[in-house]
Structure 1
Amino acid sequence: MAIFANSGVLLPLVFIGIAVTRESPIDMIETYGDYDQVCNVCNCSSFDEYEFINCSYRQLQELPPDVPVNTAELNFEHNNIRAKIDLPSSVLHLYGKDNQLTDIFGMFNETTGITVVDLENNRITSIPKGTFEFCHKLTELYLSANPIHHFNADSFIGLRSLKTLEMKYINGTIIETDLFREIRHSIQDLDINPWPKLTLIEPGAFNFSVRILKFSTGIMDYFPGSIFKQLQGEVQIDKCYIYMSETLNGISGKAFDGVSYMGDLKMIDSSMNYLPEGLLTNTSFVLAVFLQNNRLEDLPVGFLRLSPQLEILSLYNNHLKYITPEILMGLTRLKYLYLFQNLITEIPPLTFYNTNLKTLSIFNNQISTIQKTALRTSRRTLETIYMYYNDLTVIEDNAFDWLANISQV
C-alpha cells in the first residue's frame, strides 16, 4: 500500500482492483523515466510499475512514438489525431474523445485487460466484426457523437463483461432484434439516445433486463409492439427513458409486453394524443411515470392499476380535459401529481380519495369550481396545491377543510 497526497488529504491506494472511470481519474506524482520523447510532450506519471500518460489538449496530429510498454492509462483527448493508435498491451483505460479517428479496427487486438474505452466525438463510421473480440474485461464503452452507420450484433463480439454502453448521436437507422445479443447478459446501463435517423425498432430488440435504458424514437411515426418481448422470462428495467419526437403520433398497446417491472418510465415530447388500452396495465411501475409534453387528450380508466407503489405521475403540458377517480384507480401511494398546463375544467368529488397525495399541481387549466369533496384524501395527506391561472369563480364551503396539513395553496 502507498500513501499519496491529494488536495491536502492523505489517501491510501491499492492498485490491484482499482476501478477508475472517466469521472474519477487518479492524480499521480509526475515523473520522467526513460521515455523522454513522450514525456517531453505529455505529462507522465508513475504508480507502482505502471505509467499514466496524459497527452490531452496539445493540438497533436499524432501521438509521440514509444509510448511506454507498461502504460496503464493513456489520455489523448481533445487533439486532432487521425491515425490509428498503436496501443501497448498493458493499457487498462483509454481516453481519446474529441479527435479525428476514423478507423479503430485492430487497435484493441493486444489490449486484453482494457476496462474503459472513451472515443466519443471522433469520425468513426463503422465497427467491424472483431473490433473488440479480445476485450473480455471491458466494462465501459463510450462511442457517442461518431457518424457510425455500419455495425451489427457482431460488432460487440467479445464484450462479455460490458456494463455501460453509450452510443448517442450516431447514424443508426434500425435497432435490430439481435443487435445487443452479445452484451445482453452483462449490460447494465445502455444509452442510445438519440439516433436522429432511427426509423425502426424490431420486436425483441430490448429483450433483456437492464438498470438504465435510454433511447429515442428518431423519425419513427409509430412506436411498435413487443420490442421488450423475449421467448422465456420477463424483462425488468429500473429506469426507462424514451425520448420521443413530434413525428411520433401513435404507440402500440403491446409496446411494453414482456416487461414485468419498471422503476421509472419517461415518455415525453411526442405528438401522441391518446394511450391505447393495455399499454401500461401489465407492468408494475414502482416510482415514477412521466408523460409530459405530449398531446394526450384522454387517459384509459385504471391505466396504471398494477402500480400501487407509484409515487410520482407527471402529465403536465398535454391536452387533457378531465381527471377522474377511475383514471387514478389503484394508485394508493401516489404522492405527487402534476397536471398543470392542460385543459381540465373540473375536479370531480373524491378524485384523489384513494391516493396518498401530498402535492397537487393543477395550475394553468380551466377549472371554475372547487367542490366540497374534490380535494379530499382518505388520510388527509395533501399539503401543497398549485391552482393559480384557472377560471375559479366558485369555491364551495368547507372545500379546504379536508386539508389538515395544508401548508400552501
Structure 2
Amino acid sequence: MYHLKFLVLFCIIPGIYLWSADSYWSKYSSEGINYNSDDSENGMWSDDGSPYLPDSSWGKSCSGCTCQYKQSSLEKLGTCTNSMSVIGLTIPDNITAKTFPVTATSINFLGCTFTHISEDSFSNITGLTTLTICKSGLTFMPDVSKSQITTLNLIDNSITLDSKYKGTLPDTIEYLALTNNKIYWLPSGFINGSNLRLVSLGGNEFVNFPAASLGEIPNIMYFGIESNQLIQISSNHLLPLNTSTFVHLNLSNNAIQYVQRGALNKMQNLKILELHGNSISQIPKGVFEDLKELIHLDLHHNKLEKLTSESFIDLEKLIEFRLHSQSPAMTTILFDSMINIGKALKYLFISQNGLTHLPHQVFMEANFTELIELYADNNLIKNVTELGESGYGIKLRPTYLRKKKQLVAFSTTPNIVKLYLHNNLIEMVNNTDFCELQVLQLLNLRGNRLNETHIQEDGFKCLPVLNYLDLGSNHNMQYVPVALTTHEKLPSIQTLYLDSNMISVLPSETFTNVSTLVSLYLQSNRIIAVENNTFPEQLRTLYLYNNRIVAVEDGAFPYEVNTM
C-alpha cells in the first residue's frame, strides 16, 4: 500500500571562505615553505578573490592615546604613548612630527580618515619598529629612514612617488607592504636591507619592472608585484632576486606577454612561481627550463592555445601545475611539451579549456606515479581512453599510430586518487576504462552525455576503493544504471550523486545490495514513486526533493535515514 510522505527541500547558502596566505601555502611545509601570520598580514595576499585574502573585519577603537570622544566620534586624539592604535575612526587632530613621542615603537591606523597628516610626521621617531597605515587615504610615502622599523605596512592607500622623493629604508626592515596604492616608480636602490624578508608591490601602476629599485636584499623570501601593468620580464629584472633565501615570485594579474629565455632560471632556489592572469600566448624553449627547486607553477588564465615542444623541461620537483582556464581555450598539448616534470607532480590542472582528449600523449613519455589529482573538467573530452592525434601533429602521424596501439590508458598514472572529468562530452564508460586506477577514490563524471545504456555493467567494478561517484546532470539518464546496483559492482561506494537526471522509477532493490552506500543524491529527477526495499539499511542521507513523487510504499526508507 502506498502513502504520501512529505519530503523536505534542503537548501544551503554557500558562504565566502577566505584563507590566510600562511594557511594556503602550508601545503608545502615539507618543502621548506613556512610562512607565518606576519607574512599574511603584511602584504602577502591575493586581491582577485581567490585563493587567499587578508582579514579586514575591523571595528572601531582607539588605544594608546588619551582619545577624547564626543558621543561616538573621536574629538581629539590627544597625547599618545609609545604604542598606539586607531581603527575605523576619523582623526580630527592635525598629525605632525609633534603628535608622537620620539620613543614610540608601534603606530597603527586601520581604516581611518585623516583631517591632515604632515609628510614629516614620522621622520624623527628613532625607536619606531612598526608603522601600519592601511585603508586610510594616505597619499605620500612616510620618511622612516631614522627609525628601526621592521614592518612598514601601507596597504590600500593612495600613495604615489615622484623623482623629488629622497627617502630610504633602514637596514632593520623585514616587511615592506605597499599593496594597492598608486605607485608607478620607486627610487634607485630603495628596496634595500639585509633583513628584508617580504616585499609586496601588488595592485599599483607599474608598467616596467622596478629592477633599478632593487638594492642589496640577501634575505628576501617573497616578492609580489601582481595586479600591475607589466608587459615583459627580462633576465636583468630578476638578477637581484637570485639569493639563497628567495623562494616565491608573484607576477600574476599583469599584462605580461613575454618572458625572456633564461630569466627565470637565474633564481636557482625559486619554489613558487605565480604567472596566472597574464597574456602569455606562447612559451619559447628555455623559458621554463632547469628550475630545479620549483614546486608550484601557476599559468592559468593566460592565452596558451597550444603547448609546443619542450615548453617545460627539467622541472623535477614540480608538485602542482596549473594550466587551466586559458583564453582562448587551450586545444593542443604536444607529446614532448613536458619533459622530465613528472617525478614529483601530484596535482595537474587542465580544466576549462578546449581539449578533446586527456593528455595520454604526455603521460606515455614518462612515469607520473606521484600524480594523485587530475583536473580535466570543463573540456570537450568524448573518450577518456583514446589517444589524441593533435598531440603529435601531421608530420608525426606514424608515431601517433604506433603509440595509439601501445596505449594502456592511465598505466603511467596509476596512483590518481581524485579524477575530475565533469562537464565534458563523455559518451561511454566501458568495463575496463578506469581499471588501471586501483587507488581511485573520487570520480566526477557529472554533466556529460552518459545514460543507463552508455555505462557498461562492470564500468566501476575494478575500482576497489572508489567511495565518491558523481553522475549527476547527465544526458537523458532515465533509469539507474545496472553498474550502480550491487556491492560487487561498487565495492566501496559511500557517496553517490544521480541528481538532475531524468530518472522516473526506483524499482525495489535498486540500491539494497549496495552495502557501503551512506549518502545518495536523487533530487531533481522525475521520480513518481518509491517502492519498498529500494535502499540499503546503512543509508543515512537521502536527497529526494524536487521530484514528482506521489506515492511511497511502506518500508521504502531505512529506519534511520534522513530524507531531504
TM-score (norm 2): 0.55
User: Kindly tell me: are residues 39 and 164 of structure 1, through their superposed partners in 2, closer, same or farther at Cα, counting changes over 3 Å?
Assistant: same
Answer whether contact 2:382 2:424 (CA < 8 A) is retained: no
Q: Are 1:348 and 2:470 matched, yes or no?
A: no
Residue equivalent to 2:375: 214
Q: Deviations over 1:317-361 (max 9, x none)?
A: 222222266543322432222222322232233222332222333
Residue 204 of structure 1 aligns to a residue in which SS?
helix
Q: Does the alignment pair 1:294 with 2:448?
A: yes
Corresponding position of 2:8? none
- Which whole-Å CA distance do the structure 2 matches of 1:23 and 1:140 have between them? 21
Structure 1 position 183, deviation (Å) = 0.6
Distance 1:23 1:224 in 2: 45
> Partner amino acid for 2:203?
Y
The corresponding residue for 2:134 is none
Query: Contact 1:316/1:341 (CA < 8 Å) preserved in 2?
Result: yes
CA contact (8 A) 1:43 1:53 kept: no
Secondary structure of 1:205's aligned partner: helix
Matching residue within 60, 63, 68 for 2:206: 60
CA distance in 2, matches of 1:316, 1:345: 14
Q: What does residue range 357-396 of structure 1 map to in structure 2 within 5 Å?
A: 357-375=517-535, 377=536, 380-396=537-553
Q: In the TM superposition, what are the counterparts of 1:2-401 in structure 2 within 5 Å?
A: 18-19=32-33, 25=39, 27=42, 29-30=151-152, 32-33=169-170, 44=191, 49-50=195-196, 52-64=198-210, 65-70=212-217, 72=220, 73-85=222-234, 86-87=237-238, 88=240, 89-90=242-243, 91-105=246-260, 106-149=262-305, 151-170=307-326, 172-196=330-354, 198=355, 203-207=360-364, 208-209=368-369, 210-216=371-377, 218-219=379-380, 223-225=384-386, 255-256=409-410, 260-284=414-438, 286-298=440-452, 299-318=455-474, 319-323=476-480, 327-329=484-486, 330=488, 331-354=490-513, 355-375=515-535, 377=536, 380-400=537-557
1:404 aligns with 2:559: yes
Which structure has the larger Rg over C-alpha atoms? Answer: 2
TM-score between both structures, scaled by the size of structure 1: 0.74
Counterpart CA distance in 2 for 1:23 and 1:155 is 36
Paired residue type of 1:301: E
Post-superposition CA distance 1:84-139 (Å, at most 9, x none)? 34211224322111223222123235322222222222233332222244532222
Amino acid in structure 1 at the alignment position of 2:336: D
Which protein is richer in strand relative to its size? 1
CA contact (8 A) 2:322 2:350 kept: yes
Distance 1:384 1:123 in 2: 46
1:185 Cα shift?
A: 1.0
Q: Deviations over 1:124-168 (max 9, x none)?
A: 333222224453222222222222356535232242222222223
Q: Give how far 1:177 is off.
A: 2.3
State whether residues 141 and 166 of structure 1, in contact with CA within 8 Å, keep that contact through their aligned partners in structure 2: yes
Distance 1:83 1:193, change over 3 A: same
Distance verdict in 2 for CA 1:153–1:385, change over 3 Å: same
On the 8 A contact 1:368/1:391 being kept in 2, the answer is yes
Give, as a single letter, the amino acid of the residue that structure 2 aligns with 1:311.
Answer: N
Report the alpha carbon displacement of residue 223 of structure 1 after superposing the two structures with TM: 4.7
Between the two proteins, the alignment pairs up a number of residues equal to: 362
Question: Would the aligned equivalents of 2:358 and 2:376 in 1 still touch at CA under 8 Å?
Answer: no
Once the two structures are aligned, what percentage of the paired residues are identical?
21
The letter for the 2-side match of 1:336 is: T
Aligned-residue offset at 1:221: 5.5
Contact 1:312 1:337 (C-alpha < 8 Å) held by counterparts: yes
Stretches of structure 2 that go unaligned for 5 or more consecutive residues are 1-30, 43-149, 153-167, 174-183, 389-406
Q: Distance in 1 between matches of 2:233 and 2:196?
A: 23
Q: Which residue identity is paired with 1:84?
A: I
After superposition, the Cα gap between the structure-2 partners of 1:76 and 1:304, relative to the gap in structure 1 and judged at 3 Å, is: same
Using a 3 Å threshold, how does the CA distance of structure 1 residues 158 and 219 change in structure 2: closer, same or farther?
A: same
Shift of 1:186: 2.3
Mapped to 1, the partners of 2:508 and 2:500 lie a distance apart of 21
Structure 1 residue 297, shift from structure 2 partner: 2.0
2-structure distance, mates of 1:259, 1:56:
38
1:268 shift after superposition: 1.7
Question: Which protein has the bigger helix share?
Answer: 2
Cα distance in 1, alignment partners of residues 309 and 494 from structure 2: 42
Q: Which amino acid in the other structure matches residue 75 of structure 1?
A: G
Q: Which amino acid aligns with 1:185?
A: K
Q: Which runs of 5+ in 1 are unaligned?
A: 1-16, 228-252
